[in-house]
Structure 1
Amino acid sequence: MRSWLRVGEDLPDAIASLLTIDRAMFTIGGRFRGHLTRRLHRPRASDGGPDSEHRTAMAHFVVLGSCPATPAPDAERSHLILGCLGDFIADTEIPWEDWFGDRGVREAAKLDEELARFRDHHQRRAQLILAGTSSPARRLRARVELACRIRCHVGLVGPAGCGAAEIAALIHHTSAPGEPWVCLDASLMDAELLEVYAAPVIAELREHGDTTGTLCLDRLDEMPVDAQRRLSEWMETWPQRLRVIGTLHEDSPAESAPVPLGDVLVDAMAVFSIVFPKLSSRHDDLELIAAGMVRSARFSRDAMELIQSYPWPGEWDEFAAALQFAGEMVSGDRIAREHLPLAIRSFRPRSPGDGQVSMHESEITIAPLPRSARDFQIDSLDEALRQFESELIAQAMTAAGGNKAEAARRLGISRSRLLRKLAEELPS
């Protein structure tokens, strides 16, 4: 330092007083930081020598520790301070390899490769969810492709396990690549937790006026009320910069949600909503999806018929887990019935003759099983409508005592139309 200052062995009192560090200098805003930075200037020398230019340097001082100068408990302590003088550069100007070395570069490259592989895996899963030629698959695919071309709030509505998380990631990375985003389970978030876990996106929005971000919130319809208010405040603060992709599970129990969604969130989820069909309604797509998921083996006809007849109450998550299990169990190139999970291979479709057996003391009662919405089936819609129409005409004719004009009035049609309907029912 003496050579840099161009002074002799003893520092002048004026320079020494400036370089004397007091402990109070390390306290900023009432908090002891333990380090201090000062910029030193040496003015141009007046002798015009070769080293007479104006020079500057940064001096960093760090408190290493302290030792008691006297055994008295209230005595002042003399601090051990390390001072470094030199031409320091900003951290951003230091090459990344100099920070972490060759090993760090290799580990970072490996991590980037794993992240890329993880992203490709989830994108492939999302494409499989959208695969198929059935009408529900085509409608779902059209809505998702449109959502990938625009950037707006998106509401994903479907049963639990329908694959909404994979579709949300696909929509985000396709419509806004490189934009910061965070995925959270909204049902577990109160206002404070939401602040913490959403910080990677919210901090960017606060610090940079042109940054955009996305929050992907699973089970948004079960979000606590205080977290809803905080999220609504953010959406009103950055209406064009903050995007929300929310997943609403249509089979969520109503009692699990403390309050309904607020108006701000309801309006946001209505901007662009995508309804996921049940996997059981995509019977014709399952063979294609299964073949895309398990490429190392083929399915036997017996196994595929079982896959197509199983109702899949766990939706896409159960379907993907079952096929992964089958792929791990098979030793050859063909997946048979015995390679599927026990819950699936033991499934037996309900037949119309199945009954519900109950026993009371020594009396056994066999009653038909209650019909559910999934049991509905008719042979022909046209035939059912024709029979229903004939019954209504017969009831009107009976009520009118055979008077065709009165029967037509009761049916709300013209007399000529009633006559045509009656002529159609007469045998040719």
Structure 2
Amino acid sequence: MVSGNGIRPFARLLDKSKASVWAISPAGKLIYLSPNCSQWLGFDSGLLLDRSSIAGAPISNEKLDLIAAALAAPAELQRRGTASLRISPPALERHRPEAREVRFIRVGNESPALILAIAGDFDDRLPEPELKDAVAIRQQLDSWRKRHAATTINITAGTSKQAVRLRRRIQVAASTRTDVGLFGPPGSGGESILLRIHELSAPSENLINVDGPLMDSDLLDATLMPARHQLSENKDAHVTALVRGLDEMPFEAQQRLADLLDTFSGRLRLLASCGSELMELNAPTDDVISENLSFEDERARGLCSQMIDVISSLTMVNPPLRLRVEDIPLIATAMLDARYAAGEGPAERISRAALDALVIYPWPHNFKELEDAIGHAARTATGSVIACEHLPLAIRSYQPGSIPNRAKHSKLSLDDAIQRYELRLINETLQAADGNRAEAARRLGISRARLIRRLDDHSSDSPSPKESR
């Protein structure tokens, strides 16, 4: 990286000094740490060499990678040339490093450039208000990653009571290896939560993915055939079935799955997501109850009685994003960190105005919509800051109160409108397919069983379409 003899006396002086100094290469790797860094961190700092040090984005949950990420420069350094940040690195073992003020200096005008970091006392910094906000969010993220390393996925970031409960439930589910039913609206990241539970509780265990809405009994048996053979031939084997859309799985397939779970009790585990909205938590037991979940009317919820018994062992709430307004800046910044670390655009932070737009938007499609919005903004932004104009049009043009005001003048039922549209589409497709249900299902992109179930659901309100075969 350097040539000539002039660097050697300088390096020796750094090695002899009592200052904690480190250098980050243009590629974002730690390439030098002074001996005092070892004393500060409580271990041989040479172990951090060549590890990624990009703001807020460790490449893994390994403690050394988390510490390397904590030593990264804050956002906007490449533009400003210098910045200060209070750093509190995670502990590797029992030694807990003290928090220190660190001054970061960009060397040269290249982008990206070499970065030098010096720990000390700096009282001359007067950060811009927006940069101060970005530093505060970064410190909150670092604190969250340090305190909740086991459950560190973007959707669990935040300090709201919903985020706290979600993290606690993940910890419980990961420690007990029991069947889990996860209730939450579409797009709320349920699959990532279930995968995290599996990684924490049984990382070496075979995982079978099952798409609930597409299953019937025969297809379910074929999908789980490898797991059944493994469990039958090896009495010590354990397998997890991750079922997406359990509430949309046909009843006969649910009953078949319940039978398999009973046959291989304790060895075949179910991790299931359901797409229903949540109504309340039962205070005495803290169990999850869906708005449509009824033990008297199981068909309305789409769960057979056996499956209700299975998932009642541990249920989890994944609330809509609109109920976690205070968490949105942290979640959005964590998403941007991951994209920036992966080289997906130059943006390092989100402007105050853009964060405000994210907070007031109602997020009808939840976590997935926020993730898509940050991805769009990261690709659109040409500088280090995501502004309002980089956000999708629906988000940057949203005005609070506009939808409720229209509702005052016309009372509409969205559910009824969707049902009428669905029935009309099914009837038109059946007519185009000459009444052939299998062909109509293929054209609609759903299973024949799901098509029949939709027709049965509509039969009480609308006449059944005629069939020719």
Given the alignment, which residue of 281, 285, 290 partners 2:327?
A: 285
User: Following TM superposition, by how much is the alpha carbon of 1:127 offset from its aligned partner in structure 2, in angstroms?
Assistant: 1.2
Contact 1:225 1:259 survives alignment (8 Å):
no
Structure-2 residue corresponding to 1:169: 195
Alignment of 1:338 with 2:364, yes or no, is no
Contact 2:247 2:274 survives alignment (8 Å):
yes
User: Following TM superposition, by how much is the alpha carbon of 1:134 offset from its aligned partner in structure 2, in angstroms?
Assistant: 0.9
CA distance in 1, matches of 2:403, 2:253: 49
Gaps of 5+ in 1: 1-116, 357-366, 373-428
Given the alignment, which residue of 267, 288, 293 partners 1:241?
A: 267
Q: Residues 258 and 228 (structure 1 numbering): CA distance in 2 closer, same or farther, change over 3 Å?
A: farther
Structure-2 residue corresponding to 1:261: 303
Structure-2 residue corresponding to 1:313: 364
Contact 1:152 1:271 survives alignment (8 Å):
yes
What CA deviation, in whole Å up to 9, does each residue of 1:214-250 have, x standing for no partner?
A: 1010110111122122212211211111100111111
Structure-2 residue corresponding to 1:408: none
CA distance in 1, matches of 2:359, 2:197: 28
User: Following TM superposition, by how much is the alpha carbon of 1:206 offset from its aligned partner in structure 2, in angstroms?
Assistant: 1.7
Matches within 5 A, 1:141-180: 141-180=167-206
Contact 2:150 2:200 survives alignment (8 Å):
no
User: Following TM superposition, by how much is the alpha carbon of 1:148 offset from its aligned partner in structure 2, in angstroms?
Assistant: 1.1
User: Following TM superposition, by how much is the alpha carbon of 1:370 offset from its aligned partner in structure 2, in angstroms?
Assistant: 6.2
Residue 153 of structure 2 aligns to a residue whose secondary structure is: helix
The one-letter code sitting in structure 1 at the alignment partner of 2:386 is I
Q: Residues 178 and 355 (structure 1 numbering): CA distance in 2 closer, same or farther, change over 3 Å?
A: closer
How many positions carry a matched residue from both structures? 244
Residue 195 of structure 1 aligns to a residue whose secondary structure is: helix
User: Following TM superposition, by how much is the alpha carbon of 1:205 offset from its aligned partner in structure 2, in angstroms?
Assistant: 0.8
Matches within 5 A, 1:390-401: none
What CA deviation, in whole Å up to 9, does each residue of 1:292-330 have, x standing for no partner?
A: 111242111111100000010101111111111111111
User: Following TM superposition, by how much is the alpha carbon of 1:202 offset from its aligned partner in structure 2, in angstroms?
Assistant: 2.1
Contact 2:212 2:249 survives alignment (8 Å):
yes
**% of aligned pairs identical?**
36
Normalised by the size of structure 2, how large is the TM-score?
A: 0.48
Q: Residues 258 and 188 (structure 1 numbering): CA distance in 2 closer, same or farther, change over 3 Å?
A: farther
The one-letter code sitting in structure 1 at the alignment partner of 2:194 is A
Contact 1:180 1:200 survives alignment (8 Å):
no
Structure-2 residue corresponding to 1:210: 236
Residue 322 of structure 2 aligns to a residue whose secondary structure is: helix
Alignment of 1:328 with 2:354, yes or no, is no
User: Following TM superposition, by how much is the alpha carbon of 1:118 offset from its aligned partner in structure 2, in angstroms?
Assistant: 11
Structure-1 residue corresponding to 2:20: none
What CA deviation, in whole Å up to 9, does each residue of 1:226-278 have, x standing for no partner?
A: 212221221121111110011111149989x7984222211111100001111
Structure-1 residue corresponding to 2:315: 273
Contact 1:181 1:200 survives alignment (8 Å):
no
Normalised by the size of structure 1, how large is the TM-score?
A: 0.52
What CA deviation, in whole Å up to 9, does each residue of 1:360-406 have, x standing for no partner?
A: xxxxxxx557699xxxxxxxxxxxxxxxxxxxxxxxxxxxxxxxxxx
CA distance in 2, matches of 1:190, 1:184: 11
Matches within 5 A, 1:294-305: 294-295=336-337, 296=340, 297-305=348-356
Q: Residues 354 and 309 (structure 1 numbering): CA distance in 2 closer, same or farther, change over 3 Å?
A: same
CA distance in 2, matches of 1:215, 1:118: 25
Alignment of 1:187 with 2:229, yes or no, is no
User: Following TM superposition, by how much is the alpha carbon of 1:146 offset from its aligned partner in structure 2, in angstroms?
Assistant: 1.2
CA distance in 2, matches of 1:127, 1:209: 34
Q: Residues 279 and 228 (structure 1 numbering): CA distance in 2 closer, same or farther, change over 3 Å?
A: same
CA distance in 2, matches of 1:353, 1:234: 48
Q: Residues 148 and 350 (structure 1 numbering): CA distance in 2 closer, same or farther, change over 3 Å?
A: same
CA RMSD of aligned residues (A): 3.2
User: Following TM superposition, by how much is the alpha carbon of 1:353 offset from its aligned partner in structure 2, in angstroms?
Assistant: 9.4
CA distance in 1, matches of 2:168, 2:412: 34
User: Following TM superposition, by how much is the alpha carbon of 1:187 offset from its aligned partner in structure 2, in angstroms?
Assistant: 1.0
Contact 2:162 2:324 survives alignment (8 Å):
yes
Contact 2:255 2:306 survives alignment (8 Å):
no
Residue 170 of structure 1 aligns to a residue whose secondary structure is: helix
User: Once structures 1 and 2 are overlaid, which stretch shifts more, 290-299 or 268-277?
Assistant: 290-299
Matches within 5 A, 1:16-415: 127-251=153-277, 260-295=302-337, 296=340, 297-350=348-401, 354-355=405-406, 368=409
Q: Residues 125 and 322 (structure 1 numbering): CA distance in 2 closer, same or farther, change over 3 Å?
A: farther
CA distance in 1, matches of 2:197, 2:318: 14
CA distance in 1, matches of 2:313, 2:182: 11
